[in-house]
């Protein structure tokens, strides 16, 4: 086992996304996962039924005690929900882990359409967290919301990625159409396309959380950014292909596929 990953995100009681997906992913990729919970959701494959917030000072305390004792080689941020939480997380990371690579998944909406980011939190995310991130991983609606630009095809991904204003951005093509699914990695002007088959399935709950955690784990294990993205995409693809088919809505992935080899 190698690579310590601190995950700062919300809980998905359904086990398919959020902290649960993050823990499973990092474990399946042979890393060591630690967590700071930001919110609890009562959630299943049909949607988010309720959200219970974790107080800011307790989020900060989870991060402080973990970093002070165990340390982290990479940090992944998922659902943060409120502006006050974003400020608290940015403050503690600036203080205790300014040089640890940070993967920021700018989660705004659950797959079922439930808003997971309050409106004023968007500004806080742009001002505080995006500048700190080693990588930001928006899907298409998130990339549009962060920039005010419209995406009509994959050709638009690089300019939108650049406009986000981070060191590196992976614009994910899950929300586009077509048999080929393309993600674009933009790194300080350097553009790399990753293409793969689009699987026709309802079982894609947590793909975004899973990919971001897989990339964070790769960085923690010393992979460079492109290699971490490549391995992360392959891991997600296999997890979709072997999804167990649980639930009546957007079903979860098979995070454990690496164990059956």
Ligand X SMILES: Nc1ncnc2c1ncn2[C@@H]1O[C@H](COP(=O)(O)OP(=O)(O)OP(=O)(O)O)[C@@H](O)[C@H]1O
Q: Which position among 1, 46, 50, 199 is part of the footprint of ligand X (CB under 6 A)? A: 199
Distance from C-alpha of 163 to C-alpha of 23, rounded to nearest angstrom: 31
Q: Which one of 35-43, 148-156, 202-210, 220-228 is the stretch in contact with ligand X (CB under 6 A)?
A: 202-210
What's the chain's Rg over C-alpha atoms? 17
What's the CA gap between 88 and 95, in Å, rounded? Answer: 11
Which of 4, 205 has the CB closer to Mg ion?
205
Buried b (16+ CB within 10 A) or exposed e, 37-46: bbbbbebbbe
Q: Is 209 a catalytic residue?
A: yes
Q: Which stretch binds ligand X (CB under 6 A): 66-74, 155-163, 184-192, 203-211?
A: 203-211
Rounded to a whole number of angstroms, the minimum distance from the CB of residue 241 to Mg ion is 20
> Among the options 3, 206, 218, 232, which is catalytic?
206
Residues that bind Mg ion (CB under 5 A): 208
Residue tagged 């310590």 (tokens):
4
Contact stretch for ligand X (CB under 6 A) within 50-58, 62-70, 206-214, 252-260: 206-214
3 is catalytic: no
Specify whether the CB–CB gap between 72 and 109 falls below 8 A.
no
Is there binding between residue 204 and ligand X (CB under 6 A)? yes
Cβ closest to ligand X, residue 71 vs residue 178 = 178
14 or 208: CB nearest Mg ion: 208
25 binds, among ligand X, Mg ion, none (CB under 5 to 8 A by kind): none
- Calculate the CA dihedral of residues 39, 44, 48, 53 and round it to 10 degrees: -20
Q: Report the b/e string of 153-163 with b at 16+ CB within 10 A.
A: ebebbbebbee
Per CB under 6 A, 27 contacts ligand X: no
182 has catalytic annotation? no
The CA–CA distances, whole Å, from 238 to 28, 163, 186, 256 equal: 12, 32, 24, 10
E strands along the chain, which residues? 4-12, 32-44, 47-53, 74-77, 102-104, 135-136, 168-171, 180-187, 190-197
Tell the smallest beta-carbon distance from residue 99 to ligand X (Å). 27
Q: In the window 217-246, what residues touch ligand X (CB under 6 A)?
A: 233, 236-237, 240
12 binds ligand X (CB under 6 A): no
Q: What x-and-dash track marks residues 86-125 binding ligand X by CB under 6 A?
A: -------------------------x--------------
Q: Residue 24, interface with ligand X (CB under 6 A)?
A: no
Identify whether the C-beta of residue 81 lies closer than 8 Å to the C-beta of residue 11: no
Q: What are phi and psi of 104, to 5 degrees?
A: -110, 110
Q: Is 193 in the site for ligand X (CB under 6 A)?
A: no
Catalytically active residues, by annotation: 172, 204, 206-209
Q: Which residues bind ligand X (CB under 6 A)?
A: 17, 111, 139, 172, 174-175, 181, 183, 198-199, 204, 206-209, 211, 233, 236-237, 240
């Amino acid at each position: 086992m190698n690579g310590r990953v601190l995950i700062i995100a919300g809980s998905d009681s359904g086990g398919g996304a959020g902290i649960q997906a993050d823990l499973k992913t990092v474990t399946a990729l042979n890393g060591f996962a630690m967590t700071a919970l930001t919110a609890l959701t009562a959630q299943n494959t049909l949607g988010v039924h309720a959200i219970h917030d974790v107080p800011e000072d307790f989020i900060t305390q989870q991060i402080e005690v973990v970093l002070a004792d165990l340390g982290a080689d990479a940090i992944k941020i998922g659902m943060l929900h409120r502006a006050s939480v974003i400020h608290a997380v940015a403050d503690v990371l600036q203080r205790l882990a300014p040089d640890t690579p940070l993967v920021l998944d700018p989660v705004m909406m659950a797959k079922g359409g439930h808003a997971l980011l309050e409106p004023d939190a968007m500004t806080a995310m742009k001002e505080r967290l995006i500048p700190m991130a080693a990588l930001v991983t928006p899907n298409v609606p998130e990339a549009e919301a962060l920039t005010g630009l419209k995406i009509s095809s994959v050709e638009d991904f690089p300019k939108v990625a650049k406009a986000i204003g981070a060191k590196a951005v992976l614009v994910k093509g899950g929300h586009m159409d077509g048999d080929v699914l393309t993600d674009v990695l933009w790194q300080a002007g350097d553009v790399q396309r990753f293409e793969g088959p689009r699987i026709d399935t309802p079982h894609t709950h947590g793909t975004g959380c899973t990919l971001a955690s897989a990339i964070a784990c790769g960085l923690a294990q010393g992979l460079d950014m492109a290699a971490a993205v490549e391995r992360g995409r392959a891991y997600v693809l296999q997890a979709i292909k072997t999804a167990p088919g649980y639930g009546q809505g957007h079903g979860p992935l098979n995070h454990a596929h690496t164990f059956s080899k």
